[in-house]
Each structure stands twice: as C-alpha cells, then as structure tokens.
Chain A
Amino acid sequence: MGKTVKNSSILSRGCFQNSFLAQAWLVIVLAVSFGTALAFVQISLSEVIAANKLDETLTQVPALVWGENAAQYAADINIPLEIIPGTVSVKKGQKTTYYPLYRVSRGKVISGWVVKARGQGYADNIEVLIGVDPDVETITGLFILEQKETPGLGNKITFPAWREQFAGRKTAKPFVVVKEKSTASNTIDTVTGATISSRSVADIVNQTVIDIKGRLTSQTVHTGEGQ
C-alpha cells in the first residue's frame, strides 16, 4: 500500500476513510450478531441468576427463625411456611437506613422475622441476617452473609460456634463483647485475636434491634400480587 506512506494528512485521511467505510460493515455485522447472542443469553439466564441471588438469603431464613434442627425437620416432612419480604426504613437526621426483612409465618401464626442488616467491620462492610421472634424480644439466629475480614482471624465470625452465642439471647440489654468468659445475659465472647470484628457484629445487631423494635407491623410487608 504505497499511498499510506505519503505524509500528507489529506491523502491519508482519504485512504483512512475509504478503508474505514469498507471495514465498518464487518464491525456492524459482528456487533449485531453478538448483540443477538447476548440477548439470547440474557433471556435464558436472567431468571436463574435472580433466583440464585434470592435463594442465598431465603435458604437461611427457616434455620434463623426456628434453629437448624427444627428447620431441617420441617423441610424433611414438608411443612409449608410463608416467607414474605418487606422493608423497614428508619430516618435519622439526613440519612435513611433501609432494612430488608422477611416475615416467616405458618398459617396465620407469625413465627418470626429475619432482618438483613449491614455495618462497618474491621476491613470492609459486614452484612448479616438476624432472626428475631415476633416481638423482637429474643434473637433466634445469626448468619453472616458477606464479610471481608482477615482470613483465619476476623473470618471466624462466620463459624457456627461463635454465631450460636446469639441464639436465644434476650434483646433487653445491648450486647457487649468481652474477652473473659462471663455468664451475664448480654455478653458475647470475642473471637480470639479479632475483637474489632466481633464488636462490629454485636454493634450491628444492637443497632438493628433499636431500629426495628416497635416498627414491625402488618404494613411492613409487601402483600398482594406482583411483589
């Protein structure tokens, strides 16, 4: 291609336009075919992905309200239960905090609520699921959804052995994380070497209890179709 060697900008611009136009058809054809392929992929997979996201939370809900064994028993003998989503929004000054939650009921009886809360941990945000009884008097379960704490140290807040400390505790007094073992009703033993991570989780639980106590009514959930 001897023409492109010439330095004249007008001449090379003309050649560029020529080959550009000649080439544009290939890009357009590829773009259309790839776009179609992507649309096809989206149509077939978007529901599966949305279901995955929801399942992540929903599979934890029965165990958080009834405890692992009872939830497993209920699943084994196929006891039907309704899990209805809702939101509580709490306005503090300029900021509004949203708590997505699920009301778990069997027939007409409300078994409990599961609230998704998040807060600052040691390294990054921690997202938890807190199971509470209908009056928010007792914590029935705790599950860590997302955390980026130090592996081997702060990571241990995800272990069942540590989380179980919260199950069955009354919410009358805020939880306090302590280093020495104590038998008071509102103390939680810290993870060895990860006091900040442990405290962060306790703070999230305390703040959530304060925020949602008294706010859970029948209006909280999205009833009706299309929700």
Chain B
Amino acid sequence: MSKLPTPSERFIQGILPENPVYRQLLGLCPTLAVTNGLKPALTMAVAVGLVLLCANVIVSLIRDLLKPHLRIVIFTLTIATFVTIVDQVLSAYMYQMSKTLGPYIPLIIVNCIIICRCEVCASRQGPLAAAGDAVGQSLGFGLALASIAAVREILGTGMLLGIPMLPAAWPPWVIMVLPPGAFLTFGLLLAGVNWIRAWRTNRPQRGN
C-alpha cells in the first residue's frame, strides 16, 4: 500500500492538480447555479470550505470508531448538522446574500465534494491531513467558482462586484447570467483547462 499523502501534500493537491470542479467534476450543482455573480460565488465557496473543514476534522477524530455499515450515516449526519449551522449563521448575518443563494446552501449537504473527501481522506488520516485536505480542496473549489463567475458577470453585466469593467458601449450578454450561459461558460472553460493540461504534458520536457 502506498504511503498516504502528508497534510501539505493534500493541501497542494487540492488546489489545482486534483481540483474538485475541473479535474474531479464534483460539486457541479453550485458551480453552475451561484456563479452568476462573483459575490455569491465566493460566499458559496467559503460556506463549502467551512462545512468541509468541520466535517473532515470531526470524521478524522472518530475515524477509528467507524465501521462499514454506518459510515455513510455518520458522514451524512455530521455534514447536515454543519450545513444547518452555516445556513443559520448566514441568515442571521448576511441576510440578503442568503436569500440570493437560496436553496443552494442546504444543497451543500449532498455536495459530492464533501462526502468524497470524508470517504477518501478524513476516514483514513489524522486531523491535520484532513484539515489540509479540506483547505486545499476548498481553495480549489473557490478558484473554479471564481473563474466561472468572473467570466459570467463581466460578460453578462459588464461589471465585476459593481465596478464597470467593459466600456459602456458594449451591450451586456444577458444570456451569460441565465442558465444557458452557465453551461456554456463552464463547458468552454473546462475544454480550455483540458487543452492546457494536454499541452503541458505533450511539450518537450525541460530536462526534468
């Protein structure tokens, strides 16, 4: 059995090499739904990050007590609790944002990223590795969401976080902030990422 990655390796892996959205294709529901603006996208990334961190650490602390049959039940219970807490905190202190994000905050419970990381990393390694994994994956998730949201918001409204980025004469591509725009933007960005990866693996090595 190969050696399990160290906490810092888990952290680095999560950001780009094992990016949850662009490489593992997990957690696509919020990726398409909340990226019509940069602010909701970043709020969602922070929310997912918090839930992932708490769930990973708790699962990692009780990993020796887990047995096959009730493993998924315990993951689900933990994740649902933390999502409820995050949802309540968001409704209390960022009310308008919680209305914008709507049902997508509770949908974090079934976000494949969190259950996958609990299964793959937290149930097998100590709290430090689990925490590193959680932070790395969340950063990767945030990066992915931000990239899609930036494209959609700039092309769709001409502004980014309220700052106009395009000349006033440019007509906004409203379709970008509507559902089809989400699919198209993500599809094209994913193709771009695949192309970059293929280019990097195929170019002549620099004497490595």
Contact = CB atoms under 8 A, between A and B. Distances in A.
Interface stretch (B21-29, B61-69, B123-131, B140-148): B61-69
A38 B86 CA distance: 11
B66 to A, nearest CB: 8
Interface of B: 62, 65-67, 69-70, 73-74, 77-78, 81, 84-85, 88-89, 91-93, 95, 156-157, 172, 174, 177-178
A49 B92 contact: yes
* Most chain A CB neighbours (cut-off 10 Å) among B69, B157, B178: B69
B70 A26 contact: yes
Contacts of B84: 38, 41
B88 A19 contact: no
Nearest to B58: A30
Contacts of A151: 156-157, 174, 177-178
Given A16-B69, A34-B81, A41 B74 contact: no
B67 A19 contact: yes
Contact of B77 (A16, A27, A41, A42): A27
A152 B174 contact: yes
A153 interface: yes
Interface of A: 16, 19-20, 22-24, 26-27, 30-31, 34, 37-38, 41-42, 45, 48-49, 52-53, 56, 150-153
B77 A20 contact: no
Given A27-B70, A27-B74, A34-B77, A56 B95 contact: yes
A49 B88 contact: yes
